Structure 1
Amino acid sequence: MSNSLSEHDPQHFDLAVVGSGILGLAHAYAAVKRGLKVAVFERTGTPLGASVRNFGMGLVTGQPPGIMLDLARESRAIWLHLAARAHFSAREAGTLLFARSEAEHDVLQEFMMVRARQYDYRASLLEGDKLNTLYNGRFRHHRSVLHGTEDLQLYSREAMPALVAYLHSQGVHFRFNTLVHGAGDGRLSTTAGEFRAERVVVCSGHDYLTLFADRLQPMNLKQCRLQMLRLKSEETLPLTHAVLTGLSCTHYGAFSDLPTARAVHAEIEANTPLLNKHGIHLLVSPTPYQELIVGDSHHYGTDAPPFNSEEIDELLLGLVEHTLATRVKVIERWQGVYGSKGPGPFSALAIDAQTSVVLMHTGIGMSVGLGLGERVVKALLEGAELPSPTAVPVAVTALA
């Protein structure tokens, strides 16, 4: 329950969270459901970072065995719990990962025969008649398809504001348009004044300079910038699954370390080297409004350049039209940005006895963030060690 010192003091909280992206909201939810007095500080007027620029995929099937797979499954359960209470869409149709070539098909076969059995991935491989009857034969030009049944679709633009509203209704105090420019030893210095908290968790996304730059600089962290599209198909396409292709087998840790994945990488390099150059693999997430969120590319650096490449957009459009067998038109273009290239897929650092920093170093915050927030808050309250990704065999680098 709430600390007696903070109960009646509007400037004093049991937990203060810096950042209202999905990782920040995950910590706020984990704390408020335990009866703590929680505040969230956000420099903008609404969440505008990676958590609303993404595909809204709660991707379980792509996560490598180990803590990331566990976190994705834990997050899935929390997403479904919250969707029913905060009234946002969380569709459970799953994902379709299409193998377009024999090399891509070999990866899916190896995944099903080895990894799916060993780690209980809930997926099935469809080919032949099962593939040819899928969506009335629309995808018969592919070799096979992996149907991952644990994966969720979340429309981020609606899910994030709905989650903020729900947490507010549960007692979380939100301080939007408030920059936290100093933190430590239970104190926060902000543009709205000074605050205190028994514990502070900083979830600052790809901002490595405002807080604790001295601790983050040696980690040589990068930003990843992506080109994203919102599309409308020129014909009626009642797509209910998220869609990927065998290109993702070289990106996601559930597949990328399988021996057969090397042949897919070589095939891409031989036939379409620009895809490797720009870090492109296709992700398609249908919105509740018969539109398609499509991407993505990967550009890594200390900053995210503001200039989009038309070549990248043309490559993405070509991939989506071939994969879905339909013409599309662009409704909207934007950039996704997330923190990347860390010592693992995430970091949970103790700065002092009352302050922690939790950062994602991949684009899968929507897939694993809720589970990670739950584990961090539990560890803080029990005085246990913070979660560590050191046992993860392969890091993943895609925006989900």
Structure 2
Amino acid sequence: MSQHDCDLLVVGAGILGLAHAWAGARRGLRVKVCERSQAPQGASIRNFGQALVTGQAPGPMLDLARQSRGLWAELGQAAGLQLKQQGSLLFARSEAEQALLEAFCAGRAQEQGYRVELLRGAALQGLYDGRFTHHRAALHGLDDQQLYSREALPQIVDYLARAHGVQFHFSTLVRDVEGGRVNTTAGTFRATRVVVCSGHDYQTLLAEQLAVLQPQVCALQMLRARLQRPLALQHAVLTGLSCVHYGAFADLPEAEAIRVQIRREQPELETHGIHLLASPTPHGELIIGDSHVYGGDVGPFNAEAIDRLLIELAEHTLGGKLEVLERWQGVYGARGPGPFSVLAAAEGVTAVLMHTGLGMSVGLGLGERTVAALLGEGAWPTAQAA
């Protein structure tokens, strides 16, 4: 048997690729991972590290997020990840945002079993010594988790290699895949099954097969910052702006009043697709963003005006001035036929793509279900509601 033979070869070491590698290794498969960078550099380390259940739309995404929640807890313990499990806080800044959260708690949350609580009055005042009392209410998502992606992904790589014998080939570009034959800059690999998790790169591999999905790319502006007045934040933070972006809320009748208010008072937020997210790092800093620009490709240039909007929103929400430490552009695959695609691209070759920025929230579950289907243990995951 060649040293490059394996049961499962995964292309890409982002969170989707690692999820599939873990799912295969847990089943005793010989797993190899090829990644063209020296380390994960794509969407999976440029994000907030928020693994949200609360924001997911009822149906497949909510199911995957719930499954992923348990998998994150298991992986976090096994790999020694600094996984925050205190949940998320979604703050209502206006009457319209509060009305939506109240309607969500009274209706969909109960119908679909979202584990949430609405904090008002004394409960809101008790958060972080009253730091957030300038808001009207806060939705506490009890099932939400958060980690620091740029440190967590290398830890997961180390854990998979050390505990499960997964072989990683970094700085290795996969040139083409044909059946069980994978041609790379490190030689030819032969694998019983190949899973391609190549993120927003739709041209290097399987270009014709992926073209039928008509996927786009989303670029977003993000920051790492430090509050001048320290805040030992332990929750992922969102605002009512997220209610017009996330599927759990966006189709509720009350969301339209928020859209009208945004268009009347701050139309630039809608123009640039801005909704505030903030995540704590283990080092007392915050990851802050983001904006959304969609297209077939994205330019490399960030707009200072967008960063200023993000900073102003964050300073108001967090109740203090920020010192910006880093700025960067996030990029992820977006706007395909659904929130994700699992595509039988060729004999023995499966492509798995996210079409939203929710890979951290659902990726572990998606990897588990795809590998199970490959081995005949379950149905193929689909983005369509049953």
TM range (shorter): over 0.9
Amino acid at match of 1:360: M
Cα distance in structure 2, aligned partners of 1:12 and 1:238: 48
Is 1:224 the counterpart of 2:227? The answer is: no
Asked if the contact 1:57–1:151 (Cα under 8 Å) also holds between the matched residues in 2, the reply is yes
Per the TM alignment, residue 55 of structure 1 is displaced from its structure 2 partner at its CA by 0.2
Q: Quickly say closer, same or farther: Cα 1:59–1:383, change in 2 above 3 A.
A: closer
Cα distance in structure 1, aligned partners of 2:272 and 2:342: 30
Per the TM alignment, residue 135 of structure 1 is displaced from its structure 2 partner at its CA by 1.4
Aligned residues: 385
Name which of structure 1's ranges 74-83 and 12-21 shifts more when overlaid on structure 2.
74-83
Per the TM alignment, residue 219 of structure 1 is displaced from its structure 2 partner at its CA by 2.1
Counterpart pick for 1:207 among 196, 201, 211: 201
Secondary structure of 2:195's partner?
strand
Secondary structure of 1:276's partner?
helix
Amino acid at match of 1:183: V
Secondary structure of 2:279's partner?
strand
Counterpart pick for 1:377 among 361, 371, 374: 371
Runs of 4+ in 1 over 4 A off after TM superposition: none
Cα distance in structure 2, aligned partners of 1:184 and 1:68: 31
Counterpart pick for 2:254 among 254, 260, 268: 260
Corresponding residue for residue 144 of structure 2: 151
Q: How does 1:120-199 map to 2 (within 5 A)?
A: 120-169=113-162, 170-199=164-193
Corresponding residue for residue 80 of structure 1: 73
Corresponding residue for residue 104 of structure 2: 111
Amino acid at match of 1:78: L
**1:181-225: CA deviations, max 9, x gaps?**
110211101111111100000001000001111111232211100
Cα distance in structure 2, aligned partners of 1:202 and 1:123: 36
Percentage of pairs with the same residue: 58
Cα distance in structure 1, aligned partners of 2:378 and 2:135: 49
Counterpart pick for 1:272 among 266, 269, 272: 266
Secondary structure of 1:161's partner?
helix
Secondary structure of 1:53's partner?
coil
Cα distance in structure 1, aligned partners of 2:33 and 2:249: 37
Asked if the contact 2:6–2:191 (Cα under 8 Å) also holds between the matched residues in 1, the reply is yes
**1:114-165: CA deviations, max 9, x gaps?**
1110111011001112112221111111111100010001110111000000
Asked if the contact 1:349–1:386 (Cα under 8 Å) also holds between the matched residues in 2, the reply is no
Amino acid at match of 2:317: T
Cα distance in structure 1, aligned partners of 2:345 and 2:379: 13
Is 1:16 the counterpart of 2:9? The answer is: yes
Cα distance in structure 2, aligned partners of 1:384 and 1:182: 28
Cα distance in structure 1, aligned partners of 2:26 and 2:303: 44
Counterpart pick for 1:39 among 32, 35, 41: 32
Secondary structure of 1:266's partner?
helix
Counterpart pick for 2:92 among 95, 99, 103: 99
Per the TM alignment, residue 236 of structure 1 is displaced from its structure 2 partner at its CA by 1.8
Cα distance in structure 1, aligned partners of 2:327 and 2:362: 26
Counterpart pick for 1:354 among 339, 348, 370: 348
Per the TM alignment, residue 377 of structure 1 is displaced from its structure 2 partner at its CA by 0.2
Is 1:248 the counterpart of 2:236? The answer is: no
**1:316-366: CA deviations, max 9, x gaps?**
000001011111110000011000010000000001231100000000101
Corresponding residue for residue 56 of structure 2: 63
Amino acid at match of 1:210: T
Cα distance in structure 1, aligned partners of 2:378 and 2:87: 35
Counterpart pick for 2:294 among 292, 300, 319: 300
Secondary structure of 1:51's partner?
coil
Amino acid at match of 1:387: P
Name which of structure 1's ranges 278-287 and 375-384 shifts more when overlaid on structure 2.
375-384
Corresponding residue for residue 397 of structure 1: none
